[in-house]
Amino acid sequence: MTVSPLPPERPLRPARLALALALSFGFGLALPDAQIGAALAQDSQEDQALPTALLADSVSFDGTVLIATGAVEVIQGNVRLTASRITFNQSTGQLQIDGPIRLTESGGDTVILASSADLDTGLKNGIMTSARMVVDRQLQLAAARLDVVDGRYLRLSKTVASTCEVCAAHPVPLWAIRASEVIHDSEAHQLYFTNAQLRIADVPVLWLPHLRVPDPTLKRARGFLIPELRTDSTLGTGIETPYFIPLGDSRDLTISPYIATKTTTLGLRYRQAFARGEIEVNGAVSADDTRDGTRAYLFAEGTWHLGNGFEFGADLRAASDIAYLVDYGIYDGDFLPSKLTLTRYSKGEAFDAQLIHMRTLRAADLGIEDTLPFFLGEVMYERRVDPGAIPGALTFGLSASSSYRDSEVDIDGYDVLRLGAEAAWITSAVFGPGLKWDSTAAAYVDAYAMHQNSTYEDTVARFTGSFESKLSWPLTRTTATGASELIEPMIQLGWSDSIGGDVPNTDSTLVEFDEGNLMTLARFPGADRRATGVTAAAGLHFAHYAETTQYEITLGRVLYLDDSAEYSDASGLSTTQSDWLLGASIAFDAGFDTRLAFQTRSLFDDAFDLAKWETRLDYMRPRYTLGASYAYVVADAMEHRDTALNEFGFDGSFRLAKNWSANLEYLYDFTEDEATRTGLGLQFENECARVRFKVSRRYSDTEALDPTTSYSLSIGFGAYGANGKKDTSCGFGAL
């Protein structure tokens, strides 16, 4: 920018004139004075590539000393400094700056504030007094003096550091670290404390001669993570202190020793990212008072993109005993599967292969150790072809499956291998007053090789043919309020028959009858059982969609010409006429940011006796969410359930105050007339601290598991383990 010549020492008017010049050194002004230019040309050449700009309300120069006053702003490369007054001595090359001073770097996460400063022209070395540094808008450090060294290091003397917001109502932060000296390495993103003292509510609780912590901008830093205190009726009282070790940019290791009154445990987590995949391994080794010997578990999970659309996945799980995972709160499922998968999905084509190792955690309680498959394998290839010249589409596929049981007992330990092929022709048409007709003709060929089952032939071949046709009449309208409504009556006729020998039922023991398979013959989940005979189905679907309200309801039933003994009683499909299927859902906004959602599905006969019923209700408000669920399934020997499943569940989350939240869960078994699980959690979180407390009770009392009550407490300090949360609060606040 060009300005008019002014005599030396004549100040500019405080109209905030901009004086800027790209110089060959650290600091200068665009004053057309040969004396200024000659003097400044003698400055060092170290910063020749860094242009400098000065903006000020008033500037004066006497040949040696330049004074800028008013709203002064200096831009040195990507560094920006603002102050009320700057004095530059040309003979010494030093800057004297009067505050309030604000020093920032473009693209950086650190802000420095001070009352006064003496700096060199490159703003890389000097002293600041009464300084305050804010890192990533989270960590604040206040110091009596701050030294800038080589533009990389900041040395703070007599320092107080905290992430807590300090205000008039709460001038003392909840926690702070006082140190005689703190050095901040802006390149390594590390803070080094000397003679450090941790204070809680200004009360000293810990002294360390030296302390190193990462600044909040470093996301993967070596060091301790948030510890967790636990009290467990099985494992006793103890503490877990995870330690994080980065192993380069793509790998890391977390070591988690857990020391309690009844256990000594070492937990490990290893993660690595590859150019075409990733892997994570979790495990632990324990010596405790609940079992003799060493207890351990290992979970390994990873995915790899192999090219050409193929993706390989591994999910491997192992444990020393079935109770270990539950005792330590790692996993509480009924089955522990390990799986290898290879998949490829593209337009009109699908390939899926998987090998599964299955271990049940409840076999001893159910008495089915020998009847459940130990290894399962399955391969499936399917392709869809649209000829175009004729209506419809052709789908065909190949498949193979196998199961192996870890038993030498006849029948209970049988093994089987199946090879299959299938093809189907699918057509669809709309005619008349909007009637929609869908039909499918299909053929299946399956060959079985069986071992260790005297009830069946060693080799069996089966052929199944089927035809099904569905007629529906979807009717739509728009109401006076602008809502869309749909009513769709549906009927379906089907026929299927199989020829060949009988085979055991390996993969179709659990059948779910719902809205998805009401109008299809494919109600068995596997290939060992296929619907046979003549069937018919009828249903009615109604839906309403509005801006604030939507609901759907489906009612239907299936009729068979003959009884089917292949379906369990709990499936609702075991007689010549199925149970009634009723499914409904509703969701609407009740105003005042309130939303209600309800879902239910039930199977019942003509006398309204239930075979299954599951329902859930959710009530959502900005400050809390409540949910309740109920599930009922009749007893069924085919599904290895000698008593009815009859459970009620409740869960909720609550925002108690700005930084306080709570959650709870409750599960009650009406069959056993007792609660099966309860839990309560309380959390406080702001920029200053994070405190989490949880208590839970598991009531299961089986041959392998005992009832357990556990408590856990974890505390994090602000930016260190608080997920970068920046909500500010002066103190804990009121509930």
**Which one of 193, 218, 243 terminates a domain?**
218
Q: Please report the pLDDT score of residue 703 as a whole number.
A: 64
Residue finishing a domain among 160, 189, 218: 218
Token pair for 719: 């930016």
Kindly state the average pLDDT of the residues 730-734.
47
Between CA 185 and CA 155 the distance in angstroms is 9
Cβ contacts of 612 within 8 Å, gap of 6 or more: 570, 572, 601, 602, 603, 632, 633, 634
pLDDT in tens, 622-657: 999 999 999 999 999 888 788 999 999 999 999 998
Q: According to the model, what pLDDT value does residue 732 have? A: 46
Q: Kindly state whether residues 1 and 53 are assigned to the same domain.
A: yes
370 pLDDT band (50/70/90 cuts)?
low
Which DSSP string do the residues of 358-396 spell out, in sequence order?
EEESSHHHHT-TTTS-SEEEEEEEEEEE--SSSSSEEEE
pLDDT at 725 over 50: no
| Residue 699: band (very low, low, confident or very high) from pLDDT cuts 50, 70, 90 | confident
Q: Are residues 140 and 188 in the same domain?
A: yes
Specify whether 86 is located in the same domain as 5. Answer: yes
Residue 80 shares a structural domain with residue 19: yes
Instruction: Report the C-alpha gap between 214 and 319 in whole angstroms.
Output: 36
Q: Are residues 129 and 210 in the same domain?
A: yes
Residues in CB range of 502: below 8 A, 6 or more apart = 456, 460
Give residue 209's pLDDT band: very low, low, confident or very high (50, 70, 90).
very high
Of the listed ranges 188-192, 280-284, 349-353, the one predicted with least confidence: 188-192
pLDDT value at position 110?
85
Sort 60 into a burial class: Cβ within 10 Å, 0-12 / 13-18 / 19+.
middle
pLDDT band at 734 (very low <50, low <70, confident <90, very high): very low
With contact defined as beta carbons under 8 Å apart, do 230 and 711 qualify? Answer: yes
Share of the chain above pLDDT 90, in %: 53
Largest CA distance in the chain: 114
Q: Report the distance separating Cα 435 and Cα 239, nearest Å.
A: 67
Same structural domain for residues 129 and 90?
Answer: no
- Residue-level pLDDT at 714: 82
Name which of 105-114, 258-267, 597-606 the model is least confident about. Answer: 105-114
Q: Is 174 exposed, middle or buried (0-12, 13-18, 19+ CB in 10 A)?
A: buried
What's the total number of domains in the chain?
2
* 335: in domain: no
If we measure between CA atoms, which residue out of 312, 328, 244, 325 comes closest to residue 279?
312
Q: Is residue 326 classed as helix, strand or coil in its secondary structure?
A: helix
Determine, yes or no, domain membership for 256.
no
Do 140 and 54 fall into the same domain? Answer: no
pTM of the predicted model, to two decimals?
0.76
Q: Which one-letter amino acid corresponds to residue 506?
A: T
Pair (133, 73) in one structural domain = no
User: pLDDT, tens digit, for every residue of 86-108?
Assistant: 998 888 878 899 989 998 887 77
DSSP class of 192: E
Give the per-residue pLDDT at 83: 93
d(CA 167, CA 400): 69
Tokens, residue 139: 């960590």
Judge whether residue 345 has pLDDT over 80: yes
How confident is residue 371, by pLDDT bands cut at 50, 70 and 90? low
Q: What is the domain extent for residue 4?
A: 1-100
Instruction: Give the pLDDT score at 108.
Output: 73
- Say whether both 95 and 12 belong to one domain: yes
**21 within some domain:** yes
- Per the model's pLDDT, the better-predicted residue between 615 and 720 turns out to be 615
Pick from 308-312, 325-329, 432-436: least confident: 325-329
Of 100, 135, 162, which residue constitutes the final position of a domain? 100
> pLDDT, tens digit, for every residue of 449-463?
999 889 999 999 999
Residue 147 counted as domain residue: yes
Report the pLDDT value the prediction gives residue 593, as an integer from 0 to 100: 86
The pLDDT tens digits for 374-395 are: 788 999 999 999 887 788 999 9
- Residue (of 356, 288, 291) closest to 321 by Cα position: 291
pLDDT at 718: 63
Q: Please report the pLDDT score of residue 125 as a whole number.
A: 86
Confidence of residue 16 (pLDDT cuts 50, 70, 90): very low
| Residue 100 confidence (pLDDT) | 92
Please check whether residue 497 is in contact with residue 465, taking contact to mean a CB–CB distance below 8 angstroms: yes
User: Where does residue 673 rank: exposed (0-12), middle (13-18), buried (19+ CB within 10 A)?
Assistant: exposed
Tokens 């009637």 correspond to what residue? 435
User: Is residue 181, in this structure, part of any structural domain at all?
Assistant: yes
Whether residue 140 lies inside any domain: the answer is yes
- Do 129 and 96 belong together in one domain? no
Q: What is the mean pLDDT of the chain?
A: 85
pLDDT band at 362 (very low <50, low <70, confident <90, very high): low
- Percent of the chain surpassing pLDDT 70: 88
Residue type, 507: D
Position 4 in a domain? yes
pLDDT at residue 249 is higher than 70: yes
Q: What is the pLDDT of residues 324-337, one digit of tens each?
A: 888 898 988 778 89
Pairing of strands 435-451, 277-288: unpaired
Tell whether 133 and 79 lie within a shared domain: no
In a domain, 29, yes or no: yes
Kindly tell me if the per-residue pLDDT of 3 is higher than 50. Answer: no
pLDDT at 272 over 50: yes
pLDDT of residue 715: 79
Query: What are the tens digits of pLDDT across the range 505-556?
Result: 888 888 999 999 999 999 999 899 988 899 999 999 999 999 899 999 999 9
pLDDT per residue as tens digits for the range 102-158: 988 877 778 999 999 998 877 788 899 999 998 888 888 999 999 988 878 999 999
> Phi and psi at residue 180, in whole multiples of 5°?
-70, -30
- Residue 30 has what pLDDT? 34
Residue-wise pLDDT for 661-677, tens only, equals 999 999 999 998 989 99
Judge if 75 and 11 occupy the same domain. yes
Contacts of 352 (CB under 8 A, 6+ apart): 341, 342, 343, 378, 379, 380
| CA dist., res. 425 & res. 447, Å (int) | 22
